[in-house]
Amino acid sequence: MRGGYIHNQVLVEPIVQKVLCIPGARVDQEVAIRVGDQFLYGDLLIQVGSQRILVEAELTAKRIENDLLKAAAMEPCELWVVVPNPLVKKAIQRKLSRQPIPMASVKIFVLLLPQTLQRVAEFSELISGSNDGRKKGKTIQSEELGVVASTDIR
């Protein structure tokens, strides 16, 4: 993976290992994303069922435009920008507030590593089973796994 020790070992690796503990989650590193005529690379792509999350580890606010371009091209459910400290977080948030966001459907989160790990855990819990046409209230995930959301869609 391109990137230094903090980028790879401190920020990306813990997320990869956390995602692997989620049953059925799939994680891909260095995902090629076609943006116009060129290929850019996303740090992590997490997939659980139909949910896709693009994760970008950033040590400074310099490359945030690139991250937005990647997210616009890939259209994941969420873009998580993982940063090493609150200073970088504020800088990225300021930069994001100043420029137009090209995609409205993608939710963008700027997170510190512990927040990211917490979000990974919560994210997996919030995914419910597919709607298989059963009656309301019979969803096994909601009853047995303590999941907030359920597949009560008819």
Residues of this chain that interact with another protein (CB under 8 A) are 9, 13, 16-17, 20-24, 26-27, 29, 48-50, 127-130, 132, 134, 140-141, 143-145
- Three-point CA angle 61, 63, 67, nearest 5°: 110
| Least distance (Å) between residue 49 CB and another protein | 5
Q: Residues near 130 by Cβ (< 8 Å), separated by ≥ 6?
A: 49, 151
Grouping H, G, I as helix, E, B as strand and the rest as coil, residue 96 is helix
| Least distance (Å) between residue 134 CB and another protein | 7
Query: Cβ distance 147 to 126 under 8 Å?
Result: yes
CB closer to another protein out of 44 and 96: 44
| Least distance (Å) between residue 148 CB and another protein | 14
CB closer to another protein out of 65 and 143: 143
Q: How many residues does the chain have?
A: 154
CB closer to another protein out of 113 and 127: 127
| Least distance (Å) between residue 51 CB and another protein | 9
Query: Residues 83-117, buried b or exposed e (16+ Cβ, 10 A)?
Result: bbeeebbebbbeebeeeeeebeebebebbbbeebb
CB closer to another protein out of 76 and 110: 76
